[in-house]
């Protein structure tokens, strides 16, 4: 069963994207089935069914037989659910979810070009057996009478049987009628296409057009003789439809035929003798699911509003005009004709280009934004499975999924969020009995929320579990040799809680259970800081814990403070700057051999920017130093610089990995004249300071 499909890479790409959507819709639908305990809203059941149906069709068309087979079985079950011949049971939900996992694995096969080795037949068998048991069907059910459309006219059906069946399905689920309509048009004085169009519009208003001959496109091209045939689903009754069409001029003859379904053939359920390994298929799926990495594969294509593209086109058009104007002005200057005027116009054009490029920037950045929903929607299933495994009852509430964030950021926060959710379920929420004892609702709540705040997006993961006990954390840290017992005494409650972020805090055994990839809280923190973000934890023993993540709205542009020192240009993210100050050299005190000053009652350590980079410290003349006070979770440090250059919004350029390690620098920016400034990575710079201070202290 090879994976060679007769489709172009383009077609395969489109298939994968749509299949992903359908599978997600199916999963969401099945999860809500579970929630509603059988009180299923017919509309949503219909949409789940449609998703399965579409997926079956497209995977069959592609040639992925396994996927089509599996989808077909699931569709059968969904069909039974629709017709209420089966009830929703937890077992059914579990079975369907296994089916979804199987579909995902098959989808991955196409994506990775590698077969997964799952035997679809076992899965199919499980599904069929379930249905058979539920329906109590024996192999020898006699076939019922075949399908007869109710025809008042002896003419044969106007449309393909498959179309009529499709129409009937839709009509039945909506409790509406199906009509075959044939309209003979008067072609003498008017364009029949216009009249036919009017008829179609009228019919669209009162129902759903399933098919028509000629089609709307044909009508737009005037391809019609004198007859229009339509297959319509509507709740309007026959007479009203007939009268409606007849009221449109030039409709000579209108024939309406109601299509009714007779006793539909009952599918004969074939029960293959049960192989003893039926459970293996499902176990195989579960195992495969675990080993597959939980990557959010963000597709390399994006959907962009056509309006945005139009705006972009317009802006580019304006730039083209500006270019022409510049060229002509330059020409004039060359020829020294009307030089003054030309110069002025150049200036204006320059301003205009500035405005246009600003708008271009904005638009393109917006196009890169994706709603967090793309990331969040796989969480309900994940939380459900985790809760079941941990034997806890957990409810996941998600707020603000429509908050948008840059696509590259979404990929990077997926793992940290998953880790935090797992923690909340594994360590935060207590077991139902425990919760009942504590007079809490036996179902714990984990709330995942996202909202924009100025230039940041704030994501919160909050649980109402048992909270983090700083004393326990400190004790655990001491036991792991991460911190000395003496140091623990001097820690504040906040600092003690934040010990969880220390490298090495998650032990090996915890880590394999969590995700098998060595993700500890320290990696979460590092990942977030790599994105210029931050994480904080707020907790209350017995009440719950909240992790607060801040992420910059976009990685691409940053507001920074520029400064210069020893011929080097630097930029500090404005978000890291607490204040700038001019201090007099006379005020400087020495603590542990290092400079510091008393800033409004608190000791502020000082360090030259050059020291942070092991460059020679320059001699700064005059009585004053310029100091940039930067803050992070740990505290404040004053960086002494030669010259402050002011605030500037810069475009962040990543530095090539080929440069090697660049500690303290998170990227580069190109300034107005083309010079390169280095963007400082404040957290790692400050880490250096504290470390060297500790080193200094020990040596003294």
Residue 423: active-site member: yes
Rounded CA-CA distance 76/134 in Å is 13
Dihedral (CA of 679, 683, 686, 692) sign: negative
Tokens of 514: 């969590």
Complex with other proteins: residue 544 or 664, whichever CB lies closer: 664
The verdict on 457 binding other proteins (CB under 8 A) reads no
Tokens of 50: 């449609």
Task: State the DSSP string of 381-398.
Answer: HHHHHHHHHHT--EEEEE
Instruction: From the candidates 75, 498, 550, 611, give the one annotated as an active-site residue.
Output: 75
> Which segment (94-102, 338-346, 597-605, 651-659) binds other proteins by CB under 8 A?
651-659
Q: Are 109 and 85 in contact (CB under 8 A)?
A: no
Complex with other proteins: residue 98 or 642, whichever CB lies closer: 642
Which one among 9, 276, 622, 660 touches other proteins, defined by CB under 8 A? 660
Find residue 395's DSSP bridge partners: 445
Dihedral (CA of 279, 284, 287, 293) sign: negative
The verdict on 302 binding other proteins (CB under 8 A) reads no
Complex with other proteins: residue 434 or 610, whichever CB lies closer: 610
User: H helices of 153-253, where?
Assistant: 161-174, 192-206, 216-220, 238-246
Site string for other proteins, 226-265 (x = CB under 8 A): ----------------------------------------
The verdict on 656 binding other proteins (CB under 8 A) reads yes
The verdict on 151 binding other proteins (CB under 8 A) reads no
Residue 700: active-site member: no
The verdict on 692 binding other proteins (CB under 8 A) reads no
* Distance in Å, CB of 568 to other proteins, minimum: 7
Residue 75: active-site member: yes
Which one among 31, 93, 163, 665 touches other proteins, defined by CB under 8 A? 665
Tokens of 616: 């020679």
Q: Are 390 and 351 in contact (CB under 8 A)?
A: no
Which one among 1, 145, 586, 658 touches other proteins, defined by CB under 8 A? 658
Q: What angle do CA 186, 190, 192 make, to 5 degrees?
A: 60
Instruction: From the candidates 66, 177, 423, 532, give the one annotated as an active-site residue.
Output: 423
Q: Are 40 and 88 in contact (CB under 8 A)?
A: yes
Q: How many residues bind other proteins (CB under 8 A)?
A: 26
Residue 168, C-beta contacts closer than 8 angstroms, at least 6 positions apart: 178, 259, 261
The verdict on 640 binding other proteins (CB under 8 A) reads no
* Distance in Å, CB of 593 to other proteins, minimum: 23
Complex with other proteins: residue 576 or 609, whichever CB lies closer: 609
Nearest Cα residue to 653 out of 645, 643, 644, 662: 662
Rounded CA-CA distance 406/531 in Å is 11
Complex with other proteins: residue 568 or 580, whichever CB lies closer: 568
* Distance in Å, CB of 294 to other proteins, minimum: 18
The verdict on 676 binding other proteins (CB under 8 A) reads yes
Tokens of 456: 């940041």
* Distance in Å, CB of 689 to other proteins, minimum: 15
> Please, what's the b/e burial string for 498-508 (b: 16 or more CB within 10 A of its CB; e: otherwise)?
bbbbbeebbee
Site for other proteins in 559-618 (CB under 8 A): 568-569, 613-615
Q: Which residues bind other proteins (CB under 8 A)?
A: 503, 518, 523, 568-569, 613-615, 653, 655-665, 668, 670, 674-676, 678
Active site residues: 53, 75, 423
């Amino acid at each position: 069963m090879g994976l060679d499909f007769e489709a172009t890479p383009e077609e395969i790409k489109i298939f994968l994207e749509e299949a992903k959507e359908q599978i997600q819709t199916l999963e969401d639908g099945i999860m809500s089935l579970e929630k509603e305990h059988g009180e299923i809203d017919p509309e949503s059941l219909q949409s789940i069914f449609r998703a399965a149906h579409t997926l079956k069709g497209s995977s069959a068309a592609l040639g992925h037989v396994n996927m089509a087979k599996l989808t077909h079985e699931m569709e059968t079950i969904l069909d039974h659910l629709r017709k209420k011949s089966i009830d929703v049971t937890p077992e059914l939900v579990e079975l369907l979810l296994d089916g979804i996992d199987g579909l995902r694995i098959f989808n991955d096969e196409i994506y990775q070009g590698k077969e997964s080795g799952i035997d679809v037949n076992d899965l199919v068998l499980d599904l069929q057996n379930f249905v058979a048991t539920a329906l109590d069907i024996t192999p020898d059910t006699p076939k019922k009478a075949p399908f007869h459309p109710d025809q008042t006219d002896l003419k044969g059906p106007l449309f393909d049987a498959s179309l009529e069946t499709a129409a009937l399905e839709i009509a039945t689920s909506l409790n509406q009628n199906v009509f075959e309509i044939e309209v003979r048009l008067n072609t003498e004085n008017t364009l029949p296409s216009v009249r036919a169009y009017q008829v179609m519009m009228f019919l669209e208003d009162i129902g759903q057009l399933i098919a028509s001959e000629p089609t709307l496109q044909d009508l737009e091209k005037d391809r019609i003789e004198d007859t229009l045939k339509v297959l319509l689903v509507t709740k309007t009754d026959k007479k009203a439809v007939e009268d409606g069409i007849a009221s449109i001029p030039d409709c000579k003859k209108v024939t309406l035929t109601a299509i009714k379904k007779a006793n539909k053939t009952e599918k004969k359920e074939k029960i293959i003798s049960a192989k003893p390994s039926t459970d293996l298929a499902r176990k195989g799926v579960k195992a495969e699911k675990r080993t597959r990495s939980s990557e959010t594969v963000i597709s390399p294509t994006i959907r962009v509003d056509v309006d945005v593209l139009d705006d972009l086109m317009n802006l580019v058009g304006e730039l083209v005009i500006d270019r022409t104007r510049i060229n002509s002005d330059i020409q004039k200057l060359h020829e020294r004709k009307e030089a003054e005027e030309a110069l002025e116009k150049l200036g204006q054009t320059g301003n205009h280009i500035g405005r246009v490029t600003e708008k271009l920037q904005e638009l393109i950045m917006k196009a890169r934004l994706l709603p967090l929903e793309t990331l969040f929607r796989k969480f309900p299933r994940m939380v459900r499975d985790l809760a079941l495994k941990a034997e806890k009852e957990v409810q996941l509430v998600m707020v603000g999924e429509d908050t948008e964030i840059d696509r590259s950021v979404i990929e990077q926060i997926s793992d940290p969020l998953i880790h935090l959710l797992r923690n909340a379920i594994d360590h935060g929420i207590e077991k139902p009995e425990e919760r009942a004892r504590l007079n809490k609702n036996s179902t714990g709540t984990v709330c995942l929320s996202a909202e924009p705040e100025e230039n940041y997006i704030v994501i919160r993961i909050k649980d109402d579990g048992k909270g983090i006990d700083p004393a326990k954390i400190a004790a655990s840290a001491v036991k792991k040799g991460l911190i000395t017992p003496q140091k623990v005494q001097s820690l504040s409650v906040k600092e003690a809680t934040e010990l969880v972020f220390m490298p090495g805090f998650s032990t090996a055994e915890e880590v394999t259970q969590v995700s098998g990839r060595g993700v500890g809280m320290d990696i979460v923190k590092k990942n977030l800081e790599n994105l210029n973000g931050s994480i904080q934890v707020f907790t209350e023993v017995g009440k719950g814990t909240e992790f607060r993540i801040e992420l910059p709205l976009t990685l691409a542009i940053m507001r920074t403070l520029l400064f210069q020192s020893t011929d080097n240009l630097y930029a500090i993210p404005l978000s890291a700057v607490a204040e700038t100050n001019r201090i007099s050299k006379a005020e400087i005190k020495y603590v542990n051999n290092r400079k510091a000053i008393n800033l409004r009652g608190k000791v502020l350590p000082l360090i030259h920017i050059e020291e942070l980079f092991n460059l020679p410290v320059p001699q700064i003349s005059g009585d004053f130093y310029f100091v940039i006070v930067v803050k992070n979770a740990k505290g404040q440090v004053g960086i002494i610089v030669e010259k402050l250059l002011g605030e500037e919004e810069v475009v962040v350029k990543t530095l090539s990995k080929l440069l090697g390690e660049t500690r303290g620098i998170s990227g580069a920016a190109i300034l107005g004249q083309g010079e390169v400034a280095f963007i400082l990575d404040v957290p790692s710079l400050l880490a250096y300071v504290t470390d060297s201070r500790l080193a200094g202290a020990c040596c003294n």
